[in-house]
Amino acid sequence: MRFISHAADLPTPTEFDWIANGLAFGGDYNPEQWPEEVWLEDMALMREAGVTTVSLGVFAWGLLEVADGVFEWDWLDRVMDLLAEHGIGAALATPTAAPPMWLMLAHPEIAPVTAEGVRHAPGGRLGWHPSSAVFRRFALRMVRAIAERYRDHPALRLWHVSNELGNENARSYDDETAEAWRRWLAERYGDIDAVNAAWGTAFWGHRYTGFEQVLPPRFSSTGANPGLLLDFERFTSDALLAHYEAERAVLREVTPTIPITTNFMVQREPGVADYARWAREVDLVANDHYTVGADPRRHAELAFSADRVRGMAGGRPWLLIEHAAAAVNWQRVNRAKTPGELRRNSLAHIARGADGAMFFQWRQSTAGAEQHHSAMLPHAGADSTIFRDVVRLGADLAALAPIRGSVVPTARVAILFDHDSAAALRSGRKPTELLTILDLPHAVHRLLTERGIAVDVLPGDAELDDYAVVVVPTQLLAPAGLAERLAAVVDRGGHVVVSFASGLVDETNRVIPGGYPGAFLALLGIRADEILPLLEGERLAIAPSGTASIWSERVELVDAEAVATIADGPLAGRPAATRRRVGDGTATYLAVRADDETLGALLADVLALAGVEPIADAEPGLEVVRRVGESGRFLFAINHADAPRAVRASGVDLLTGQRHDGTVSVPAGAVVVIEESA
């Protein structure tokens, strides 16, 4: 074994430093897929591209522990040494996402079981369930072995625990999981009577007399109890987190100075993991994000996800640890990115608080299930548009070194987006299947950011003292105390906007009686006695203008006024939006899924009441974000339009060195980053 010594110009492994250029840049590196003569070419091309960091060994368990207790480290030793010699840091993975074939065949009981009772066969990803004691024992042995092997290696910068925990192994319905589920319930509720009370098991006569009778929500011909479903979602998140914590404990013991993280998946439909809670358990919040090629507003979804990750990170810098250089391989049509989109996507994450942009993966695979997933170095090689774009991005990130450690200042507007609420919506039948948890939050965030308004996306238990406007879109489940915290915002002169399908259920997924929206009746000064969902394609006219779809309610005014009304149909003349005034504060309710025109006008009205101004004076089509730190103020302007757009700013563009005084013209599809003058 040959470990190079610490060179004077290399960071030591005790420094959490992404090397000289300041920002992390690189991707998943899988040298085990390639002959060794390719590795030196990789090093040269990484240096050309400005790569500072690679994720290493994510799926390498079977190549490191080739049989039970038999380890072969030589190839990874050589790769780690090459990285250190070329000034590239390793986010070294615990390779437990990929149990080796010998383990899966010797212990098939580690594999997840579907709700229908079918056990997963070897050959996929994450082929283990988080409650498996056998898997945990083998996994922690692997973690200890790799930690002890590389604890002093100069390339080691960060521990990357497993990979996308819960992606393919989110839920398992096997007997061992059932036992863990019962223990979780006993700890949460104390006795079985409390479970019966929480879930309302008198319905359909499902009362339990002991925890041993409680099963996971396995396949049945009818819908399962909403309270049971929600708690199983919570249990599953906790079980996955417990596995991360077990691996973290070993790493902390062996390498106490090396930071530890795992990659979140904050994108599109929320998964099973309660990432806001998980974020408290990692040293650095790291996220995977992939856009959907068929979505014409995919840059808006990216902005929402990035703001949500920043909210989980408590406003601190975070790391984009995976995204795509071009097409992915898992969508119905895997569209390539448009010219400049790779750059815009990467710098949009940086603008919203990331201190690095990394990809899956470095070199595009020629074999395996992801052979057509794009990479920094594509099948075509270095003589390719993608690699030239990657080299340009590496130069951009080097030029942006001064922003490292700066933060996006706390906004004056917050959107609440809560994991438990998303889980409650998918746990049990609801008035309409057309309602999705991301639809309205995305629309609100997009309409605000299109106006140049800074927005923080926060979990439901976040502190709200710093916000002039708090928007609560489709917050189906009201966390304990949320109504009181929102009332406090209004009482101090702030402004709250609550939408339909909010506050309908409590923390056990029971409907709050007394009318809708149950938890927020007093706050809003209204009461709805019935939900009237609309058919697919059906629309209502809204006065003074606009239309609505998906959802409507029969609303009565109690202590509020109507600011918009339904203009046709059985609810004609009923409020579509209401407002209750409390001193200088207001509480606004949106009872319908309004179109962009109506929703945008409502939000603009609330912003005017609150005196909230845009980040900068920018033309429509220009996404603007500011980061601030000890080294200065940095205004990002990203042009998603097909023509130049201007923003008022003075300072130097870090990407070009050009000085601007007063007005900056941003070419179509381009990005500028202005280090603003004092």
**Domain ranges, ordered by start, for the chain:** 24-172+257-403, 413-610, 622-676
Mean pLDDT for the chain? 94
* Model confidence, pTM: 0.95
Write the pLDDT tens digit of every residue in 374-420: 999 999 999 999 999 999 999 999 999 999 999 999 999 999 999 99
pLDDT above 70 (res 304): yes
pLDDT above 70 (res 566): yes
Q: Please return the burial class of 114, using the count of CB atoms within 10 Å of its CB with bins 0-12, 13-18 and 19+.
A: middle
Please say if 281 is a catalytic residue. no
- Computed on alpha carbons and rounded to an integer, the radius of gyration of the chain in Å comes to 26
Instruction: Answer whether 266's CB lies under 8 Å from 289's CB.
Output: yes
The runs of H, that is alpha helices, within 151-191 are 175-189
Give bridge partners of residue 469 from the DSSP assignment: 413, 495
Mean pLDDT of 252-276: 93
Place of tokens 């489940």: 477
pLDDT above 80 (res 5): no
Instruction: Answer whether 245's CB lies under 8 Å from 281's CB.
Output: yes
Instruction: Answer whether 613's CB lies under 8 Å from 603's CB.
Output: no
pLDDT of residue 271: 83
pLDDT of residue 124: 85
Mean pLDDT of 540-553: 96
369-376: long-range contacts at Cβ-Cβ below 8 A with a sequence spacing of 24 or more? 369/329, 370/329, 371/329, 372/327, 372/329, 372/334, 373/324, 373/327, 373/328, 373/329, 373/330, 374/324, 374/325, 374/326, 374/327, 374/328, 374/336, 375/27, 375/325, 376/26, 376/27, 376/49, 376/325
pLDDT above 90 (res 270): no
SS3 156: strand
Please say if 463 is a catalytic residue. no
pLDDT above 70 (res 366): yes
| The token pair that represents 576 in the structure block | 């579509």
pLDDT of residue 177: 98
pLDDT above 90 (res 22): no
DSSP string, 560-623: -EEEEEE-SSTTTTSEEEEEEEETTEEEEEE-SEE-HHHHHHHHHHHHHHHT---SS-B-TTEE
pLDDT of residue 13: 34
Instruction: Answer whether 390's CB lies under 8 Å from 396's CB.
Output: no
pLDDT of residue 7: 31
pLDDT range class, residue 134, cuts 50, 70, 90: very high
Of the listed ranges 248-252, 269-273, 274-278, the one predicted with least confidence: 269-273
Looking at the chain, how many residues does it have?
A: 678
pLDDT above 50 (res 9): no
pLDDT above 60 (res 357): yes
pLDDT of residue 268: 75
CA dihedral sign, ordered 549, 553, 557, 558? negative
Mean pLDDT of 552-556: 98
pLDDT range class, residue 15, cuts 50, 70, 90: very low
Contacts of 37 (CB under 8 A, 6+ apart): none
The rounded percent of the chain whose pLDDT value lies above 90 is 94
Contacts of 564 (CB under 8 A, 6+ apart): 542, 543, 544, 546, 575, 576, 577, 594, 598, 602
Distance (Å, whole) CA 659 – CA 662: 10
pLDDT above 60 (res 4): no
Distance (Å, whole) CA 46 – CA 671: 24
pLDDT of residue 125: 86
pLDDT above 70 (res 1): no
Dihedral of CA atoms 136, 141, 143, 147 in degrees, nearest 10, equals 160
Give bridge partners of residue 318 from the DSSP assignment: 354
- How many CB atoms neighbour CB 537 within 10 A? 7
Catalytic residue among 65, 164, 247, 675: 164
pLDDT of residue 223: 86
C-alpha separations of 352 from 299, 311, 377, 499, 655 in Å: 12, 10, 26, 26, 17
pLDDT above 70 (res 8): no
| The token pair that represents 187 in the structure block | 């700890």
Mean pLDDT of 645-664: 96
Catalytic residue among 233, 247, 301, 322: 322
Mean pLDDT of 116-127: 91
pLDDT above 70 (res 10): no
CA dihedral sign, ordered 598, 601, 607, 608? negative
pLDDT of residue 267: 84
Look up the CATH number of domain 24-172+257-403.
Answer: 3.20.20.80
Domain 622-676 matching CATH 2.60.40.1180: the answer reads yes
Distance (Å, whole) CA 350 – CA 339: 19
pLDDT of residue 123: 85
Instruction: Answer whether 319's CB lies under 8 Å from 354's CB.
Output: yes
Domain 413-610 matching CATH 3.40.50.880: the answer reads yes
**Residue 99 corresponds to which amino acid?**
P
Distance (Å, whole) CA 566 – CA 585: 25
519 closest CA partner among 508, 459, 415, 193: 508
Distance (Å, whole) CA 163 – CA 419: 20
pLDDT above 70 (res 6): no
Distance (Å, whole) CA 253 – CA 237: 24
pLDDT above 60 (res 2): no
pLDDT above 90 (res 37): yes
